[in-house]
Structure 1
Amino acid sequence: MDKVEVYDTTLRDGAQTEGISFSVADKLKITRRLVEMGFDYVEGGWPGSNPKDLEFFSVVREDPLLRERVTAFSSTRRKHISPAADENLRHLCACGVKTATLFGKSWDLHVINALNTSLEENLAMIRESVAFLRERGLRVIYDAEHFFDAYKHNPDYALSTLAAAVEGGANTVVLCDTNGGTMPWEIEAVVQQVVREFPMVRVGIHAHNDTGMAVANSMMAVRAGARQVQGTVNGYGERCGNADLCTVIPNLTLKCGYPTLPPESFGRLVELSRYVSELANVHPYPQQPYVGMSAFAHKGGVHVSAIMKEPRCYEHIDPALVGNRRRVLVSELAGQSNLLYKLRELNLDLPSEGEVARQILAQLKELERQGFQFESAEASFELLVRRAANGYERPFVLESLRILTELQESKAVHTEATIKLRVGDRVVHTAAEGNGPVNALDNALRKALEQFYPGIRRMRLLDYKVRVLDGAAGTGAVVRVLIETGDGQSNWVTVGVSPNIIEASWQALADSLTYGLLQRGG
């Protein structure tokens, strides 16, 4: 089948997401990753519009590969001036890229009410701007803003704006559902019409997600003949976001057979999704199709029993195709199949049936009733199972813990933790300060244990979350604490639950160090 070009606009449209701001270094890292994976175009932003984009394009200009793949974005010339006099178009020509993406007005409503010009002048703005860039050796992708709304309101004029771009020499015309309000069947009908009208150019789709249809609309456009899809990694974008390329790409190739990225890049889609979310400082969405942590997670015992026999029973693809993995969750819904799967996964030599298994499942369900949650705290679950095995030895045992917090008006808060632990046949008693009770507890625990287990120095607390489980109980509510810890090689999550936040924190913190010692030794 015909290749579908993949055009990424994470660095422009994605950067318009509320709360996201990429540095120049971030933009360059993402650009290089996308180029390396074989994305056809990476939209870099508006050259000359701000110091950040100016610096970004100055780096791109010096790299031949980036110059070929990165596109610069701008608008058509302003009304009643020549293209040569338009500052935005001059910046496009000077930024060093080989492809320019130009957007213009398709909707007569916008032309009259927003641009305050005539319909004829708007057509001239489009035609002359595209021609100006083509004459200077640039490929031109023309983005027809609000095209579907324009087509519904005045189809003849909407098509005439595309004709103006094609007359100017545009290589690709992209139909934009800028307001994100068009339905998939409308997309299909309009794209079919445009493909018939303009067989000499490539047609693209740029979908926004205001009705939750961005991915569906992108798919329907390709089905109707579009051969370029624009979108963003993880669906980032203004308002409700753009079409999520992490979903569109595998849908097109794995489900419909259209070539998109090189085959070797599909196994890196999960890595790409998480890499961009890290740079965007946005927590990954667990239920994101294909690449989310929960995309291939199984919780119900019946489901787990089935996938152990035949994964296709509850998985639409092999998770490894996109770089993901199958996960079996343990909870109050778990059955023996879940336990068997986890035992195999953890390489634990425990019987999956019989009294030990029944005790583990009963303990698991009782702990979940109390508020524990092991779906995301798999390290605590593994410890729960290992403690049921014969021969398990705890690396340390708490004898006592006391935390003192002194608060005085207009003075810094003083917190000290005193801890007594038993390690083997020795007892250690020490104290440490911190900027709060949990920090003081962490410092005291590490101080006590590092003489026995030097490897603890490599372990770092990465995240600490507290959730109130019953808000109606006010300050007497039970809280759940989740702690994420890492040692530079891997990260793990542990959980604690108690009406006392210090006790819950102790449970999660003690498990975090215990698990790290179990995995890496002392």
Structure 2
Amino acid sequence: MSSTKGFNHRKYQATAGVNIPDRQWPGKTIDKAPTWCSVDLRDGNQALVEPMSVEQKLRMWDLLVKLGFKEIEVGFPSASQPDFDFVRALIEGDRIPEDVTIQILVQAREELIARSYEAMAGAKKAIVHVYNSTSPVQRERVFGLDKEGIKAIGVQGARWVKEYAKKYPETEWRFQYSPESFSSTEVEYATEVCDAVIAEWKDSGNPIIINLPATVECAGPNVFADQVEWFCRNTQYRKDITVSLHTHNDRGCAVAAAELGVMAGADRIEGTLLGNGERTGNMDIVTMAMNLYSQGIDPKLDLSGMDEIIAVSEYCTKIPLHPRHPYAGDLVFTAFSGSHQDAIRKCMSKQREDEHWQVAYLPIDPADLGRSYEAVIRINSQSGKGGVTWVLENDYGLNLPRWMQIDASRKVQAAAEALSGEISPQQIWNLFEEHYLSPAKACAVQDFSLSQNNAENDGQDVLNMHFNFAGEKIQLTGQGNGAISALVNAWQAHCGDAVEILDYSEHALNSGTASQAIAYVMLSVNNTRYVGVASHRDVVSASLQAVINAAVQSPSASVLQRKAS
């Protein structure tokens, strides 16, 4: 396909990498959760077509606190009256728990910094997050300043932050600085600016956070990790600061960049629930935290109520969650493929509570997130016996033998193909009843007796049975080693058929004295196979009925009606 004038890759150039041949991060592993800072109420909110109302912000705030966030960015109060009012509402309404620190964002301008401190007056603990842009394109095309001029903006902002904090001594202040567009800035220069800011703060006694943002994700996560490692190895003040990351998702790698960044030395991660944010979104804290969880690492967040997280997020942002969203989407624990369904069913049947999770295609247990196993298997025309078996076993208590699985799945698959869509568990059960259980109504066993006469019958059981067939009452009498054998012999004698039991299985449907039994029979009548199923409170009755249900499907069953008439 020929390229068009408007789609021309030559307009772009590769992002420069970092010269760090002895990089250490590829050999590192993450063994503990970073400090999390939610920016849903600031970065996530400013990215919305319709910003959150106060009621929605409070609902999101309550959720974030419930999940266990200890640092929450609550707004940009110097740039927005609603943000200012919301911060005041949290403080004056005493809605901030003792162990939670609020954070605000502000540009490196004195009047905005003064206004921000007004908004946070009375807070017990707070982080003032100041920033200025440092990338070449920002320096040259937005601000028209050289490197020294841009560094001076950051340093002056740091001074104002320190000076205004002294006016509010009742608050435990922490200072945070971001070289905006760190990912697009020469790493040597970004480190130089950060060190200059740290130098302004290091003797203030206020803990310092240096936040390294991928404001625009412009390279692979490995390049970002190199940038983070270079900073951590070359800043003069690594032991004196917390290194934080704020990645965006322009290339779809925000989570990967954050994880590699932690391997490269970062301590703290900023992001949003489910990845809401500017352009393609922020780092998805739910995904990264669950990635850690799936590796046996405590994420330090309680994400067990995933449905509540989704509901609140969708309500506050008005952004629906994609059904394939990692961990949280409606379909992520769902298998349509027949081979996947079969593997899941087999693994689940062998999974013990006292061992690590080992289920094919399910990296975590859906129950950990408040999800039900009822939704794990979904059935359509592409599904195999495993999916049908799972639904009948988990929803209706049927432990189908393998040959029964094959027969039942064929019938379900045919129905799915006819519908050209998904088959619900109720529809599967209806098909099972229609093809296997309902035929018993037309040929129901009315009564039977089973006796043993050692003298006359060589120790064999004698069966006398009456059942309905085509409106007629049919009597069968036979003997054998057990009720089923006696019935087969009686059928052969009555109809002249060659009958053989190929397979048989039965089990209780539920526990207790009132439990129902269900029996499955595969019968060969004149070398043709037939399947019969029946349930009854008595296992012998269920077994006899299952044999009759299979046998009456044979063409020779018409002999019964002729003899009856």
**Which TM-score applies when normalising by structure 1?**
0.65
- C-alpha change, 1:288 and 1:176, in structure 2 (3 Å) is same
User: Using the alignment, how far apart are the partners of 1:165 and 1:319 within structure 2?
Assistant: 46
Q: What is residue 504 of structure 1 aligned with on the other side?
A: none
Tell me how far 1:202 sits from its aligned partner.
0.8
The answer to whether structure 1 residue 307 and structure 2 residue 344 are counterparts is yes
**Structure 2: how far apart are the matches of 1:355 and 1:308?**
15
- Pick one of 82, 88, 108 that aligns with 1:58: 88
The change in CA–CA distance for 1:371 and 1:88 in structure 2 (over 3 A counts) is: farther
Closer/same/farther in 2, CA of residues 89 and 56 from structure 1, 3 Å limit: closer
1:146 counterpart letter in structure 2? S
Residue 266 (structure 2) pairs with residue 217 (structure 1) = no
How far did residue 67 of structure 1 move?
A: 7.5
What is the alpha-carbon distance in structure 2 between the residues aligned to residue 205 and residue 238 of structure 1? 16
2:383 pairs with 1:334 = yes
Residues 1:115 and 2:137 aligned together: no
Is the 1:12–1:44 Cα contact (8 Å) retained in structure 2? yes
Aligned to 2:156: 125
- Change in 2 beyond 3 A, CA 1:120/1:235: closer
| Counterpart secondary structure, 2:158 | helix
Alpha carbons of 1:361 and 1:283: their partners in 2 closer, same or farther (altered >3 Å)?
Answer: farther
Post-superposition shift, 1:221?
0.5
Please state whether the residue corresponding to 2:283 is helix, strand or coil.
Answer: coil
1:480-509 CA distances to partner (integer Å, 9 max, x unpaired)?
xxxxxxxxxxxxxxxxxxxxxxxxxxxxxx
- Alpha-carbon distance change, 167 to 294 in structure 1, aligned in 2, over 3 angstroms: same
Q: Which residue pairs with 1:8 in the alignment?
A: 38
Give the whole-Å Cα distance in 1 for the aligned partners of 2:223 and 2:296. 20
Q: How many residues align?
A: 380
Instruction: Summarize the Cα distance change of 1:302–1:228 in structure 2 as closer, same or farther, 3 Å threshold.
Output: same
1:502 corresponds to? none
1:120-178, Cα deviation, whole Å (9 max, x unpaired):
43233333134235434421222331001012xxx332112211332233621111001
Identify the range of structure 1 (361-370 vs 203-212) with the bigger mean alpha-carbon deviation.
Answer: 361-370
1:271-350 mapped onto 2 (5 Å cutoff): 271-311=308-348, 312-326=359-373, 327-347=376-396
Residue in 1 aligned with 2:69? 39
Structure 2 match to 1:148: 183
Q: Which amino acid in structure 2 is aligned with residue 211 of structure 1?
A: R
The alpha carbon displacement at 1:332 in A equals: 0.5
Q: Verify the 8 A CA contact 1:331 1:365 in the aligned structure 2.
A: no
Are the aligned partners of 2:381 and 2:422 in contact in 1 as well (CA < 8 Å)?
no
Counterpart of 1:362 in 2: which secondary structure? helix
Q: How does 1:243-262 map to 2 (within 5 A)?
A: 243-255=283-295, 257=297, 259-262=298-301
Q: Give distance in 2, aligned partners of 1:254 and 1:386.
A: 40
Q: Could you tell which deviates more after superposition, 176-185 or 18-27?
A: 18-27
Which segment drifts farther, 137-146 or 226-235? 137-146
Counterpart of 2:198?
166
* Structure 1 pair 253–315 and aligned structure 2 pair: CA distance change class (3 A): closer
- 1:278: Cα distance to partner? 3.5
Q: Is the 8 A contact 2:378 2:387 kept in 1?
A: yes
Q: Deviations over 1:336-364 (max 9, x none)?
A: 22111101221255857778974674355
Q: Is the 8 A contact 2:128 2:176 kept in 1?
A: yes
**Post-superposition shift, 1:244?**
0.9
Deviation of 1:53 (Å): 1.8
Distance 1:235 1:340 in 2: 37
1:94 is aligned with what amino acid?
Answer: A
Aligned-CA RMSD value: 3.1
CA distance in 1 between partners of 2:50 and 2:112 (Å): 33
Q: How far apart are residue 299 of structure 1 and its match?
A: 1.7
85-94 or 347-356: which moved more? Answer: 347-356
Measured in 1, the distance between the counterparts of 2:246 and 2:327 equals 21
Deviation at residue 335 of structure 1 after TM alignment: 1.7
Q: Does structure 2 retain, via aligned residues, the 8 Å contact 1:350–1:389? A: no
Would the alpha carbon gap of residues 192 and 199 (structure 1) be closer, same or farther in structure 2, given more than 3 Å must change? Answer: farther
- How far 1:255 sits from its partner (Å)? 2.2
Deviation of 1:59 after TM superposition, in Å, equals 1.9
Instruction: Name 1:29's counterpart in structure 2.
Output: 59
Hey, what does 2:443 align to over in structure 1? none
CA contact (8 A) 1:205 1:229 kept: yes
Aligned structure 1 segments of 4 or more residues deviating by more than 6 angstroms: 352-357
Residue in 1 that maps onto 2:521 = none
Conserved 8 A contact 1:145-1:175? yes
User: Are 1:73 and 2:104 matched, yes or no?
Assistant: yes
Match of 1:230 in 2: 270
- Aligned letter for 2:121? A
Question: Are 2:91 and 2:120, in contact at CA under 8 Å, matched by a contact in 1?
Answer: no
Distance 1:122 1:372 in 2: 61
Mapped partners of 1:61, 1:7: distance in 2: 19
Distance in 2 separating the partners of 1:23 and 1:389: 57
| CA–CA separation in structure 2 for the residues paired with 1:171 and 1:54 | 24
How far does residue 216 in structure 1 lie from its aligned partner after superposition? 0.3
Q: Which amino acid aligns with 1:144?
A: P
Shift of 1:61: 0.5
1:401 alignment partner in structure 2: none
Which protein has the larger Cα radius of gyration, Structure 1 or Structure 2?
2
1:73 match: secondary structure: strand
> What code does the residue aligned with 1:107 have?
S
Equivalent pair of 1:2/1:227 in contact (CA under 8 Å):
no
Q: Secondary structure at the match of 2:41?
A: coil
Aligned partner of residue 224 in structure 2, secondary structure:
helix
CA contact (8 A) 2:36 2:69 kept: yes
Contact 1:175–1:205 (CA under 8 A) maintained in structure 2 = yes
- After superposition, residues 359-508 of structure 1 pair within 5 angstroms as 361-374=410-423, 390=437
Residues 28-82 of structure 1 show CA distances to partners (whole Å, capped at 9, x for unaligned) of: 111111112211212111125334323321221132635763534232333xxxx
Partners of 2:104 and 2:409 lie apart in 1 by 58
Aligned residue type for 1:260 = P
Give the 3-state SS of the residue equivalent to 1:339 in structure 2. Answer: helix
Partner of residue 449, structure 2? none
Instruction: Please list every run of 5 or more consecutive structure 1 residues that lacks an aligned counterpart in the other structure.
Output: 393-522
Cα shift at 1:325: 4.3
Q: Does the aligned pair in 2 maintain the 1:14–1:236 contact within 8 Å?
A: yes
Structure 1 residues 386, 65: CA separation in 2 closer, same or farther (over 3 Å shift)?
farther
Q: Name the SS for the 2:196 alignment partner.
A: helix
> Is the 2:113–2:160 contact (alpha carbons within 8 Å) kept by the matching residues of 1?
no
- Secondary structure of the residue aligned to 1:292 is coil
